[in-house]
Amino acid sequence: MKIRLDKYLADMGLGTRSQIKKDVRTGSVSVNGTAVCRPDVKIDTDKDQVLFQGQPVIYEEYEYYMLNKPAGVVSATEDRREKTVLDLIRERRRNDLFPVGRLDKDTEGLLLITNDGKLAHNLLSPGRHVDKVYFARIKGKVTERDVIEFARGLDIGDDKPTFPAKLHIYSSGKLSEIRLTIREGRFHQVKRMFQAVGKEVIFLKRLQMGTLVLDEKLHPGEYRKLTEEEVKNLCLQEKKP
């Protein structure tokens, strides 16, 4: 891919376009061993070697992070009052990252953060039926009857009932623990599904989205880059009808 030098450096988080233009004009940048003073020079991101203040700058078109979202932060790119999931990704270079889908403020767990709009669209698009797996603690006794009702589809007050969902009961009592797999991403879907059977979600954590599984080593608030394998698998899944 060929892009302007100032965009190359700005995308890699080295400053604003106007700051970078100044840096380039004052000789802080070299391309393939030669000082360059024009910010509009075209860079081949696959071939050219760019140094900024003597340090190599490798271009990454896309960044992919897996975050274990803690409760108490909002799934937004910016917010005037609340801490956002992007505030937690300290090492990010690009400034066009966004969370793929939303988890409620009090929900924890897997959140993919990227600037790959096509991948995000394909993972979220309702027609793709990408599985999302949640662990939840429920106030009330979750029963085999609930398993059947979730599998049939529930009326949660929308135009259409929910798609069949797979409910697995780990333990059942005054408080129950369950795993739920759904293929949609409606607003407050898991909480509304349990409401529909007269129960309340008191803790919710996403464990998996499509092929991407939350890394158990990540504590709430921690994140890591996706491995090449994880990105490849998400992209392969994206191509499935």
Rounded distance between C-alpha atoms, residue 152 and residue 164, angstroms: 5
Q: Report the nearest approach of ligand URA to the CB of residue 230 (Å).
A: 21
Is 106 one of the annotated active-site residues of the chain? no
Could you say which of 104, 146, 155, 158 is catalytic? 104
For residues 194 and 150, what is the distance between their CA atoms, to the nearest angstrom?
A: 9
Q: Distance of CA 209 to CAs 83, 112, 142, Å?
A: 23, 9, 24
Shorter beta-carbon distance to ligand URA: residue 107 or 162: 107
60/184 with CB nearer ligand URA: 184
Six-digit token pair at 35? 């000082």
Beta carbon of residue 135, minimum distance to ligand URA (angstroms, whole number): 12
Residue with Cβ nearer ligand URA (5 or 193): 193
Cβ 147 to ligand URA shortest distance, Å: 18
| Chain residues that interact with ligand URA, rule: CB under 6 A | 103-104, 107, 188-191, 204
- Residue pair 205/135 in contact (Cβ under 8 Å)? The answer is yes
Q: What is the DSSP string of 9-52?
A: HHHTTSS-HHHHHHHHHTT-EEETTEE---TT-EEETTT--EEE
Q: Which positions are catalytic? A: 104
